[in-house]
Amino acid sequence: MSQKFVLGYFDDEETLMHAIEKINATGTKIYEVYSPFPIHGIDDLLGYKRTRLSVAAFIFGCIGFSLALFMQTFMLGLDKWRINIGGKPYLAWPDFVPVTFEGTVLITALGMVFTFMWVNEFFPGAVEKQPHPRVTEDLFVVAIKSEDAEGSDVQSIMSSNGALEVKEEEVLL
C-alpha cells in the first residue's frame, strides 16, 4: 500500500547524519533512511535496537549440532544394523567431530540466510520498497510519514541542512 511520505534527498552521508540529528531534536519520528552503503552509527541515531539475528544464529547452531551428532550416534551406535568395524567401539566420539562441526555450520548458515530473507521480506522477485532508484547508487533519502511530519518544520530543517530536495510524495515503502 502506497502512503504519503516526506522525502529528503541528500548526496552525502555526513550531511545526512547531521540533518537526522536536527530532525531528532524536534522529536519527529523518522520512518526509514535509505542509502547506497551501510553508514556507521546510523542505527543509534534512528533508535534501532541491535538485531537479534545473532541469537537466531546461536539457536540454529544448537539445532545443527544436535542433529548432526544424533544422526551419527543413531546410525553407528543405536540402529539395529550398526556396522562392526574390526571389533572397535561403535561410538567412536572423536570421529564424530568433523561431521558434527560441518552440520553445525551448514544448518546455521542456511538458517541465518533464510531468517535474514524472512525478516527483510526478501524473496526472488520481491518488489523493491525504495523511494528512488538512485538510492542504490549515490542518493541518501530520509523518509518521514506525512502524518508524523504534520505540524513540525522538518521540511525546512532538511532543506536548510544540505538536502538537495525535499518533497512530499506517495510511495510504496
Partner 1 sequence: MYESPYRRPLITGDDTTYKKISDDIIIPVEAKPTQWWYMGFAISLAFLALYVWAIGYLLWNGVGSWGLNKTVDWGWDITNFVWWVGIGHAGTLISAVLLLFRQKWRTAVNRSAEAMTIFAVVCAGVYPLLHAGRPWVIYWALPLPNTYGNLWANFNSPLLWDVFAISTYLTVSVVFWYVGLLPDLASVRDRAEGMKKKIYGILSFGWNGSAKAWSRFEVISLILAGLATPLVLSVHTIVSMDFATSVIPGWHTTIFPPYFVAGAVFSGFAMVLTLLIVARKAMNLENYITLNHIDVMCKIIMVTGSIVGSAYITEFFIAWYSAVEYERYAFVNRMFGEYWWSYWAMMTCNVITPQLFWSQKLRRNITAVFIISIFVNIGMWFERFVIIVTSLHRDYLPSSWAMYSPTWVEISMYMGSMGLFFTLFFLFAKYVPVIAVAEVKSIMKTSAEKYMKITMEKEKAEESAQHSHESHHA
63 in contact with partner 1 (CB under 8 A) = no
Separation between Cα atoms, residue 28 and residue 48, nearest integer Å: 15
Smallest separation (angstroms) from partner 1 to the CB of 33: 4
38 in contact with partner 1 (CB under 8 A) = yes
Catalogue the long-range contacts made by 128-134 (C-beta closer than 8 Å, 24 or more residues apart): 129/172, 129/173, 130/34, 130/173, 131/5, 131/7, 131/34, 131/169, 131/171, 131/173, 132/7, 132/9, 132/34
81 in contact with partner 1 (CB under 8 A) = yes
User: Which residues of the chain form contacts with partner 1 (CB under 8 A)?
Assistant: 11, 13, 32-40, 42-43, 46, 48, 51, 53-54, 57, 71-72, 75-76, 79-83, 85, 88, 92, 95-96, 98-99, 101-103, 105-106, 108-110, 112-113, 116-117, 119-130, 133-138
